[in-house]
Amino acid sequence: MNTGTSFWKAAWAVFLKDLIAEWRSREILTAQWTFALLVIFIFDFALEFDPRAQQRVAVGVLWTLFAFAGTLGLNRSLSMERENQCLEGLLLAPVDRGALYLGKALANLVFLFITAAIVIPVYSALYNVSLLHPGFLLVIFLGFVGYIAVGTLIATMTVQARTRDILLPLLLFPLILPIIVAAVRASEGFLLGNPWSEIRTWVNLLVVYNILFGTASFLAFDFVVEG
Judged against a pLDDT cut of 70, whether residue 50 lies above it is answered with: no
Residue 4 pLDDT level (bands cut at 50, 70, 90): low
Overall average pLDDT of the 72-96 stretch: 72
d(CA 114, CA 54): 24
Record the pTM.
0.89
Residue 165 pLDDT level (bands cut at 50, 70, 90): confident
Q: What does the pLDDT look like over 94-110, one tens digit per residue? A: 677 888 889 899 999 99
pLDDT value of residue 178: 94
Q: What percent of the chain has pLDDT over 70?
A: 86
Q: Which residues contact 79 (CB under 8 A, 6 or more apart)?
A: 159, 164
d(CA 190, CA 181): 14
Question: In 10 A of CB 147, how many CB atoms?
Answer: 28
Judged against a pLDDT cut of 90, whether residue 183 lies above it is answered with: yes
- In angstroms, the Cα distances linking 113 to 16, 106, 109 are 16, 10, 6
Overall average pLDDT of the 25-48 stretch: 81
pLDDT value of residue 86: 67
pLDDT value of residue 83: 64
Q: Which residues contact 132 (CB under 8 A, 6 or more apart)?
A: 124
Q: What is the mean pLDDT of the chain?
A: 84
Look at residues 107, 56, 47 and name the one whose alpha carbon lies nearest to residue 81: 107
CB 135 within 8 A of CB 49: no
pLDDT value of residue 55: 58
Q: What percent of the chain has pLDDT over 90?
A: 33
CB 138 within 8 A of CB 203: yes
Q: Write out the DSSP string of 166-222.
A: HHHHHHHHHHHHHHHHHHHHHHHHHHHT--HHHHHHHHHHHHHHHHHHHHHHHHHHH
